[in-house]
Amino acid sequence: MSIPIYFAPLQSYTTLPYYLAFESLIGGVDKYFAPFYRADKAGIFAYDKQMLVRPKLHVIPQVLTNSGEELIRFACDMQERGFDEINLNVGCPFPMLTNRRLGSGLLPYPDMLRNMLAAYFDGDTPLKLSIKLRLGLEVDNEINQVMEVLNDFPLEEIILHPRIGIQQYKGEPNWGAFEGLVARYTLVGNGDINSKEILDNLKLRFPDVPAWMLGRGLLTNPCLLHPEMEWRDTMLKLHDLFLNNLKEFGLTEHQILNQLKCFWEYPSRHLEGGQRLLRKMKKVGSMVAYEESRKRFLADS
Ligand SMILES: Cc1cc2nc3c(=O)[nH]c(=O)nc-3n(C[C@H](O)[C@H](O)[C@H](O)COP(=O)(O)O)c2cc1C
């Protein structure tokens, strides 16, 4: 039996129209994680139209909060829409959020995390809850106390991206630290799995890991797990399906153009000269100009 694969949430990139296109063309992903929602100052969540009803896909909505009350409200909102699981983001590294004890900024405060989870599980927990986190905010042993807290609650699963918050996305994932933790806890692994070879090596090194999560690697090369598929042909088809979905979701031309520019951001890294093409594409202001730019993207390499 093959080990489950999860699609990592990336704000602005892993949208529902993208996930739907990916699933219908490529598939092989067991859970699609949606980028985080965050309540405003008044504690209100604003959901985009796309998340009003649970899609046929196995999507896990994510929330960024440090409040039990907000966590419960988010779960109730998602239950109304038909979802059966939510994910709590304790990994986001951006200082504007970590300064507010959100994302990986919560890792140095295990008691705050405990209070939030206690509030969630003391109530009529409406939905399964999983957590995505890093090793720490500033040091990689912050996770030890955090894991002791998490161990006290019936979480669905814990996904670890073994970097610390202040690293953001620099340096290498610390698989040595991950190794020490998987000896004691069941963890899903995530971070820089940019080829099938890297994934296969990690599976060999960590045979007890129940699932692997991939983000940028899959966005850059959507056929990463399907060596029999051809990149250019896959990109063309994925693009057309994605564009169709954007239209079906009723986005304006301006919104569609912005999303299409995002669509090419990671694939551009797969191509020699891709960065130059992307810079040109980012300047286009109409669908007609976009179409010209897209053609160059797939022909010009
Ligand atoms: C642009 C960008 C946006 C991201 N947005 C989110 C997010 O909304 N929620 C989250 O949990 N992680 C987010 N991440 C982190 C990814 O989910 C993932 O943990 C990280 O990129 C490492 O995995 P990868 O190397 O396979 O991409 C984001 C990462 C990037 C680069």
How confident is the model over 237-254, as a mean pLDDT?
Answer: 96
89 lies in the same domain as 172: yes
Residue 2, pLDDT > 70, answer yes
- Closest C-alpha among 248, 196, 214 to residue 21: 248
Name the closest-CA residue to atom 4, ligand 1: 10
Distance (Å, whole) CA 290 – CA 301: 18
Sign of CA dihedral 180, 184, 189, 190: negative
87 Cα–ligand 1 center, Å: 13
Task: Quickly list DSSP for 137-198.
Answer: SSSTTHHHHHHHHHTTS--S-EEEEEEEGGGTT-S---HHHHHHHHTTS--EEES---SHHH
Which structural domain, as residue segments, surrounds residue 241?
A: 231-299
14 Cα–ligand 1 center, Å: 10
Answer whether residue 55 is part of any domain.
yes
The atom of ligand 1 lying closest to the CA of 190 is 23
Name the closest-CA residue to atom 14, ligand 1: 10
Q: Please report, for the domain that includes residue 151, its CATH number.
A: 3.20.20.70
Find the range with the poorest average confidence among 24-38, 39-53, 106-120. Answer: 39-53
Answer whether residue 118 is part of any domain.
yes
Look-up of token digits 């007609």: 288
* Cα first-last separation, the chain: 38
188 Cα–ligand 1 center, Å: 14
Provide, rounded to the nearest whole percent, the portion of the chain with pLDDT above 90.
Answer: 92
148 lies in the same domain as 281: no
32: β partners = 7, 59
- Closest C-alpha among 8, 11, 18 to residue 36: 11
How confident is the model over 207-230, as a mean pLDDT?
Answer: 97
The atom of ligand 1 lying closest to the CA of 34 is 8
How confident is the model over 122-140, as a mean pLDDT?
Answer: 94
8, two tokens:
């990592």
41, two tokens:
């100052």
53 lies in the same domain as 179: yes
123 Cα–ligand 1 center, Å: 30
pLDDT at 203: 98
Q: How many structural domains compose the chain?
A: 2
Distances (CA, A) of 54 to 36, 130, 177: 16, 18, 36
| Better-scored residue on pLDDT, 300 or 268 | 268
Angle at 270 between CA 235 and CA 212, to 5 degrees: 85
129, two tokens:
């809850």
Its pTM surpasses 0.95: yes
pLDDT digits (tens, 9 = 90+) for 150-190: 999 999 999 999 999 999 999 999 999 999 999 999 999 99
How confident is the model over 134-157, as a mean pLDDT?
Answer: 98
44 lies in the same domain as 186: yes
Name the closest-CA residue to atom 6, ligand 1: 10
Name the closest-CA residue to atom 31, ligand 1: 10
pLDDT at 300: 46
Answer whether residue 156 is part of any domain.
yes
**Lining residues, ligand 1, CB within 6 Å:** 8-11, 35-36, 62, 89, 91, 132, 161, 169, 190-193, 214-217
pLDDT band at 56 (very low <50, low <70, confident <90, very high): confident
Distance (Å, whole) CA 190 – CA 215: 8
pLDDT at 296: 86
pLDDT at 297: 83
pLDDT digits (tens, 9 = 90+) for 260-294: 999 999 999 999 999 999 999 999 999 999 999 99
190 Cα–ligand 1 center, Å: 9
pLDDT at 1: 63
131, two tokens:
């957590």
How confident is the model over 44-52, as a mean pLDDT?
Answer: 83
The atom of ligand 1 lying closest to the CA of 91 is 11
pLDDT at 115: 98
Answer whether residue 42 is part of any domain.
yes
4 SS3 class: coil
